[in-house]
Structure 1
Amino acid sequence: MTEKIPVKDVTTGKVETYDLYAKREKIQVRSYQGLFKNIRLIGVGFLFLLYFGTAWIQWDGRQAVLWDLPARQFHIFSATFQPQDFFLLSFLLIICAFGLFFITVFAGRVWCGYTCPQTVWTWIFMWAERVTEGERNARIKLDKAPLSANKVLRKSAKHGIWLGVSLITALTFVGYFTPIRGLVVDTLTWQIGGWALFWVFFFTAATYINAGWLREQVCIYMCPYARFQSVMFDKDTLIVSYDAARGDPRGSRRKDADYKAAGLGDCIDCNVCVQVCPVGIDIRDGLQYECIGCAACVDACDEIMDKMNYPRGLIRYTTEHNLAGEETKILRPRLLGYGAALAIMIGLFIVTVGSLAQVSLDVERDRNVLYREVRGGNIENVYIVKIFNKSQQERTYSLSVEGHPELILEVPANRLSVEPSSLLQLPVNVQLDPGFMQGTNMPIVFRVTALDDDSISATSESRFLGPTVR
């Protein structure tokens, strides 16, 4: 007789409903000190110096880093890139993506916690709140207080700092696409152009809204990284975790109490780890996709442990295997795979950038006439030659043509001087005795070579047309 699978009737139970979207509860973050906060401050200081300082560096009489869209030239110190080099940007973005994957497999969301612009600017805006409205309890009390001159003054000061930081951020960003020195002067004298004004306003508003009002909502609902990070995590990934075996059962107690005899763990249930969290989660509930790995809860908990004379590390960077008492494997196939792919792509990128030609040559046939017969009986073809000097110094080139030793090249000048990052376009004539024609359509190659350095050269293929020789 076949046994029946037991079935439980769940249709008669209570039906629970859930809101698909909950109204945001404002998060008031508490101040704290600690190792990881200091690391973040050092990192943020370096990134701020890099972001705000690089735009003001001059290099050979121009801005060192400038994406000159009208001229279709992208200057990065001594290198100048053209639209045809745009594939390098895609290459670089792929490298950054694999770098992010590698870091995530190894140490979780440290990018989010320490270097993500959303996180960095949010911390800056939180600092502005603290210096204008006071610490956490004072801010909560101020929000609940009725409207008064003190409240208006403090709120106005906070939003003034927010807008100031947002404006400086926007001006710097736009300054990478239009010379920042002129942009700042034009802004201060109210002579800024329409498009520049639009983009400065746009990025000011975006920074003000994202870092001032949306904050953790960007990380939780708008950033896709929070959603797909779980596919890169494994039990050996370094994550911020609460040691439940050591901390539970939780409970308050006096500092000198024998909490072990009372059956309590090391967690005193002070909720400081929740109060310092910028996304408002309780890390004691386990790993959550909202966690950005900033380690604020680690620093705050260590402060409490020090005050209680307990060992640090109740909340710490660790792995699931470590929490379970198992060995953590640092070198594992997924990490090695991402690392190998990253190393290969970085190597290829360096080689590609290092081998970029300092001059490019483009040759087009004059389409108005296929060929013509000139005095002396030679066949002549006309071409439009474009020489682009990609270097940052003026260069003089020679132009030659290959394909047959009897080809005659006529150019306006023997020495072709081209300004830095400039294009020289000129018509040239190529002649050949019809007796040397190899059919009606023979391949030829134009070559341009720098007179001061034979290694700087470029070639372009074309065709030489002529009549049928009988």
Structure 2
Amino acid sequence: MQAHPDPKPSSEAQGEVFLYEKPVKIQSRRSTGRYSSLRLAAMLALLGIYYLLPWFTWNGEPLVFLDLPHRRFHVLTMTLVPQDLILLTGILLAAALTLFFFTTLAGRLWCGYACPQTVWTEAFIWFEHLIEGDRHQRLKLDKSPWNTEKVLRKGGKHFAWVAFSLLTGFTFVAYFVPARELFGDLLHGQLSGWPAFWSLFYGFATWGNAGFMREQVCKYMCPYARFQSAMFDRDTLIIAYDEKRGEPRKTLAKKVGQPAGDCVDCSLCVQVCPVGIDIRKGLQYECIACAACVDACNNVMDSVGKPRGLVHYTSSNHDAGKPYHILRPRAIGYGLVWLAVLVGVATLILTHSPLRFDVLRDRHALYRELVDGSLENVYVLKITNEDERPHHFKVDGQFQNGPVATIVPNEFDVPPGATVAKTVSVRLPAASEDEHERAEHAVATLQLNLTATDAPQLKRSRTARFLTGDPHENKH
């Protein structure tokens, strides 16, 4: 995309620099090549996942469903609740470290191929190319007076944009309201207020960001472009112009009467750039590393019989003639921390259970000695069943020094997705004449085991203190 300068002298040329100025609309040229094909594949894969995932089900439930009213989040085969915050924290930390690690190695891969702003902008540009034509046709259309053709083309483009944006908005809401229910209500004109509001809101945001703001989001709103320099070093992969090979450019060489470099000064690398920069001016923070300029320049080099790679992936050290190091302290550090977090998250996922079990001792009473000589403590058992079906649970207990505890009551029914609190009494049998531990120690260790009788794999154990005397009483 190439910005067309105003025929009047620019403010900079006149010695004036304005802090705020109207952005020039960027009209991108379609690029073809290896990296363009990779971007297209990434766009189709990511959009396919986004739009289709809410429609897949598992055991009759959506594969991904964020049930905010009931505070239950179904992700693949897991059901998470707010108490699983540690798992969510681990996943977010792993995502951040993945971004840091791969940015250190290969630059802004995320921005160029997977960022939602890039993906949806690519889709909107595709509609624009399809309806209004390639760059020169759109420039001509913009300059032409309003007529039937211009109204139809501009109107058709915005109709496609709005339809795609609404689909995006409704799909986003389908992660919070079952997709079949949401789109069924939409088709029957029975969509309630909040789903309608958020669908329109996110649809409007998509239409504005991908249709109009585009590179402005990357330049001025996204913080990643600002702090990426903290993750770059001289071995990070970047897209750069080979100045030694390309200069002087063909037009300049004719003026000064010198042999021309390989750059024919066609400006195609600028015309295909989605953020409107000239890669020949060096690395700039606006560059999102989409490699469209690489494809465009390679195609030009093929047509003029020159070697490819005038604009290419490289690193600062490689350009300086120094060896390229993949394994370096920063990359190794990020990689080790990233692997450690991935192992931790994988462990949390593999050990995740829909059963939660907590034991709280009743602090209003210490202990009670019964008629038969046994001792009784009172506990509150908190049982959370995150499964999709109810379960019948049984609890048993044993003391560390051997006796089996008597628990009353010891069986409970817990509905799906519910947390119940049950008060139970736990009794330690009367000690025999040769057992002196109760007299010597005021506290015993009790282990309580909870098992679902209809699903034995659901089980949890907890330890608790069992008072056999006044812990503040002097036994000596």
Candidates 265, 268, 290, aligned match of 2:264? 268
TM-score (norm 1): 0.86
Match of 1:87 in 2: 86
Secondary structure in 2 aligned to 1:211?
A: helix
- What are the residue-to-residue correspondences of 1:103-252 with 2, within 5 Å? 103-252=102-251
Distance in 1 of aligned mates of 2:427 and 2:234: 73
Distance in 1 of aligned mates of 2:69 and 2:211: 33
Contact 1:106 1:335 in 2 (8 A): yes
Secondary structure in 1 aligned to 2:137?
A: helix
Shift of 1:363: 3.5
Shift of 1:116: 0.6
**Residue identity in the other structure for 1:408:** T
**Residue identity in the other structure for 1:156:** G
Q: Percent identity?
A: 44
User: How large is the Cα RMSD of the aligned pairs?
Assistant: 3.2
Match of 2:426 in 1: 430
**Residue identity in the other structure for 1:114:** Y
Alpha-carbon distance change, 427 to 20 in structure 1, aligned in 2, over 3 angstroms: same
Match of 1:341 in 2: 337
Contact 1:80 1:421 in 2 (8 A): no
Greater shift in the superposed pair: 359-368 or 108-117? 359-368
Contact 2:112 2:290 in 1 (8 A): yes
Distance in 2 of aligned mates of 1:18 and 1:98: 39
Secondary structure in 2 aligned to 1:130?
A: helix
Alpha-carbon distance change, 231 to 407 in structure 1, aligned in 2, over 3 angstroms: closer
Distance in 1 of aligned mates of 2:359 and 2:70: 21
Match of 2:459 in 1: 457
Candidates 391, 394, 408, aligned match of 1:410? 408
Where do 5+ consecutive residues of structure 1 fail to align? Answer: 1-13
Contact 1:370 1:465 in 2 (8 A): yes
- What are the residue-to-residue correspondences of 1:392-407 with 2, within 5 Å? 395-403=391-399, 405=403, 407=405
Shift of 1:460: 4.0
Distance in 1 of aligned mates of 2:312 and 2:175: 40
Contact 1:359 1:390 in 2 (8 A): yes
Match of 1:6 in 2: none
Distance in 1 of aligned mates of 2:42 and 2:269: 23
Distance in 2 of aligned mates of 1:17 and 1:462: 75
TM-score (norm 2): 0.85
1:316 aligns with 2:316: no
Contact 1:394 1:417 in 2 (8 A): yes
Match of 1:4 in 2: none
Alpha-carbon distance change, 367 to 206 in structure 1, aligned in 2, over 3 angstroms: farther
Distance in 1 of aligned mates of 2:307 and 2:429: 94
Match of 2:100 in 1: 101
Contact 1:273 1:297 in 2 (8 A): yes
Contact 2:90 2:344 in 1 (8 A): no
Secondary structure in 1 aligned to 2:17?
A: coil
Contact 1:447 1:457 in 2 (8 A): yes
Shift of 1:376: 7.1
Distance in 1 of aligned mates of 2:413 and 2:283: 64
Distance in 2 of aligned mates of 1:235 and 1:131: 40
Q: Which whole-Å deviations, capped at 9, do the CAs of 1:63-115 have from their partners, x for residues lacking one? A: 11111112221112221122111121111111111111111111111110111
Greater shift in the superposed pair: 285-294 or 359-368? 359-368
Match of 1:295 in 2: 291
Shift of 1:420: 4.9
Greater shift in the superposed pair: 395-404 or 238-247? 395-404
Secondary structure in 2 aligned to 1:300?
A: helix
Greater shift in the superposed pair: 437-446 or 325-334? 437-446
1:285 aligns with 2:284: no
Greater shift in the superposed pair: 203-212 or 141-150? 141-150
Shift of 1:293: 0.3
Secondary structure in 1 aligned to 2:55?
A: coil
Shift of 1:450: 3.3
**Residue identity in the other structure for 1:127:** W
Distance in 2 of aligned mates of 1:64 and 1:406: 43
Secondary structure in 1 aligned to 2:424?
A: strand
Shift of 1:49: 1.9
Secondary structure in 1 aligned to 2:250?
A: coil
Shift of 1:382: 4.9
Match of 2:19 in 1: 20
Shift of 1:365: 5.3
Shift of 1:126: 0.8
Secondary structure in 1 aligned to 2:20?
A: coil
Distance in 1 of aligned mates of 2:249 and 2:372: 104
Q: Which whole-Å deviations, capped at 9, do the CAs of 1:324-358 have from their partners, x for residues lacking one? A: 33322222111111111111211121122212244
Q: Which whole-Å deviations, capped at 9, do the CAs of 1:146-174 have from their partners, x for residues lacking one? A: 22232222222111111111111122222
Q: Which whole-Å deviations, capped at 9, do the CAs of 1:105-136 have from their partners, x for residues lacking one? A: 11111110111110010011111111221221
Distance in 2 of aligned mates of 1:438 and 1:185: 70
